[in-house]
Amino acid sequence: MTGAALAASELTDASVPIVAVVIPALNEAGKIGRVLDKFPRDGRFEAIVVDDGSTDGTGDEARAHGAAVVVRHDVRLGVGAAIRDGFECGRQRGRTWLALVSGDDQHEPAELVGAFEALLDRGADYVQGSRWMPGGRVIGRTGGRGVGTRAYSVAFSLLAGQWISDATNGFRIFRADLLRDPSVDIHQAWLDSYDLEPYLLYQAIRRRYTVIEYPVTVRYHTTDGYTKMRGIRDWWRLFRPALLLRVGVKR
């Protein structure tokens, strides 16, 4: 089957899921249900929720709201470990594409459909969501994070060698085969936290996969919290993959 024919079939055939959408969640009861209620009613996509040691019934709520799979960690292992286990679950289920959205209702899961179609139309390997590119939007007040995410994206882009307007955004879809590349090793222990997402984006760019951006929505919840990132340590975990890979300290 040619690439064009494959793209056409992936756009139209909704009989079997081909995109495993990983949703990491830690104590997101009250939010994870909202995320899944907004999940696209499109048979190409399935939701894999990874409950990273929640104590508030997050996993039960995910099942009640239609998650195809709930992977349970009995203790908290870190967001990177949760994402990694979700990706492995998707690969084991034979899904061609892997995707990621947040479990705290920051993203709009329905936007996965447009992002996936843009990826296929352009023959790309990886699509990164962006709130800052034309067509993207932010709902709610960002506080200092608006400046921080933009500054980070400039630094990341300089290190990676490709302009990425929103490098901290967790919203993404990519070919599952990227994880079979011998140069891409997401099972390293140092990637158990926030490091894994920028690691994967950086490697996709540097290994010459076709990476594009797609405008998406990011919602900041001012009443019930919108991030579990805490201080300089977690920002360093976001920043260090591109730096350490660029200078050859990590691989």
H helices of the chain, in order, are 3-12, 32-37, 58-64, 79-92, 111-121, 145-160, 196-206, 231-246
Structural domains in the chain (count):
1
Is residue 207 assigned to a domain?
A: yes
Is residue 9 assigned to a domain?
A: yes
Is residue 213 assigned to a domain?
A: yes
Is residue 44 assigned to a domain?
A: yes
Instruction: Give the pTM.
Output: 0.90
Is residue 251 assigned to a domain?
A: no
Average pLDDT over residues 55-79: 97
Query: Quick one: pLDDT at residue 239?
Result: 85
The CATH number given to whatever domain includes residue 160 is: 3.90.550.10
Is residue 189 assigned to a domain?
A: yes
Task: Name the residue with tokens 């048979």.
Answer: 43
Q: In the predicted model, is pLDDT for residue 2 greater than 70? A: no
3-state secondary structure at position 127 = strand
Give me the half-sphere count of Cα atoms (radius 13 Å) on the Cβ side of residue 94: 2
Task: Name the residue with tokens 């997050």.
Answer: 58
Q: Which residues pair with 22 in a beta bridge?
A: 48, 100
- Other beta carbons within 10 Å of 1: 8
pLDDT in tens, 120-144: 999 999 999 999 999 999 999 877 7
Give the domain extent around 172: 3-246
Strand pairing category for 137-139 and 97-100: unpaired
Is residue 11 assigned to a domain?
A: yes
* Spatial CA neighbour of 29 closest among 2, 78, 65: 65
Query: Quick one: pLDDT at residue 11?
Result: 52
Is residue 178 assigned to a domain?
A: yes
Query: Quick one: pLDDT at residue 1?
Result: 37
